[in-house]
Amino acid sequence: MTDTLDPKITAAPANAGSDENVSRPPQPRPAVVQPPALKRRIPKVSDLAPLMQFKKPEFSKTARLKRASTIWELRDIAKRRTPKAPFDYTDGAAEEEITLRRARQAFQDIEFRPGILRDVSRIDLRTDILGKESRLPFGIAPTGFTRMMQSEGEYAGSQAAEAAGIPYTLSTMGTASIEDVATAAPNGRNWFQLYLWTDRDRSLELIERAAKAGNDTLMVTVDTAVAGARLRDVRNGMTIPPALTVKTVLDASYRPAWWFNFLTHEPLTFASLSRYTGTVADLINSMFDPTLTYEDLDWLRETWKGKLVVKGIQTVEDARKVVDHGADGIILSNHGGRQLDRAPIPFHLLPDVTSALKADNSKAEVILDTGIMSGADIVAALALGADFALIGRAYLYGLMAGGREGVDRTIQILEKDMTRTMALLGVSKVSDLNPDHVRLLQR
């Protein structure tokens, strides 16, 4: 007889005797005790009172500037308050403005590398540049036609620099004289920027005036053999002084304060000539010398007894050569992207130049400009080897936003940025910054 299993009978599971598979009724969930703070209630008047402290609207210049926390926000204010032609002259660059965009992008394409457990209770931003101390590691770059941006112009820039304890550079094409700037900021550290003219006697006159007025540094710009193609200026019909066309009158209706200031102050005058009427490009092409060579640099070195720096260096080879010809410092600069579009980016060039000069045992100092829009940008430049930085557009945005107070605000923003960035990096003084604090990212 064979054993057969009844199909209705199934084998018991191996763990049939355990409690695991025993069906049990669902257990009630414990009651959730709600914190008193989360129980809804009708608000009391006394609870609402601290929340109902509405501030009285402030429309003063001081309040407007105080609300700006970045240079970009100062730029927004400047754009609202300045006619298109002078704003674009400041804001724009050559041709497609590729160089300017790349210069600003270069500062974004970095990674900071912070150190921890460092004492950063006090941050010291002082540094020495060209034989003297600067309270901050940046100064104000030379800018042309500055009173066209805002009527206080070079006077606001030089006085703000004096108050901040940083250098101020007057341009050959500045709209205030060498002597007037020296009078406006008698205790400031004033530098003079020189374009060599075809008329050497006029250039020599400017050099002598700068020395007599107490300028300790001469900055010669060498990247303007001809004017760059600044297409915004062409489209705006930009002339010196600004012309009252139908277009500019309509534009002025939105910026009456600028035109009131412009028309009720002294007409634009220049450090190098009393009057000029025409386009910026025509002025550059008619007055600047396209035949400059290293022999002219030798002449300058013999003529000028103070510190001599060369602005517009864009290759390692040229950096070495100008130092060999007597320059005390070089400025890595592509003129803010306003001359040759697609020019080298100073920030990218910085490591190679500093390494080359170090290999030559050179004591020449390296200054950087172009693309700086924050204190973090300056910190990055210093970490990669720059001794100092210059700000051009950043200061002009402040100037257009609020005159002298706007320039002060620019400096305050950059100083605060630098202090915070260095503290977060674990660095308490400028001299401790080094390439280990910054890594260039690959795009």
Structure tokens at 75: 């730029």
Cα–Cα separations (whole angstroms), residue 187 to 212, 283, 336: 15, 33, 29
Q: State the DSSP string of 185-208.
A: STTSEEEEEEPPBS-HHHHHHHHH
CB 141 within 8 A of CB 391: yes
182: which 2 tokens? 């020296």
For 283, the 3-state DSSP assignment is helix
Is-cis flag, bond preceding 346, omega within 30?
A: no
436, 384 in Cβ contact below 8 A?
Answer: no
Q: Tell the residue number behind the tokens 């290293």, with chain if given.
A: 294
Q: Which residues are catalytic?
A: 335
Can you tell me the distance from the alpha carbon of 369 to that of 391, in angstroms, rounded to the nearest whole number? 6
Q: Are 421 and 115 in contact (CB under 8 A)?
A: no
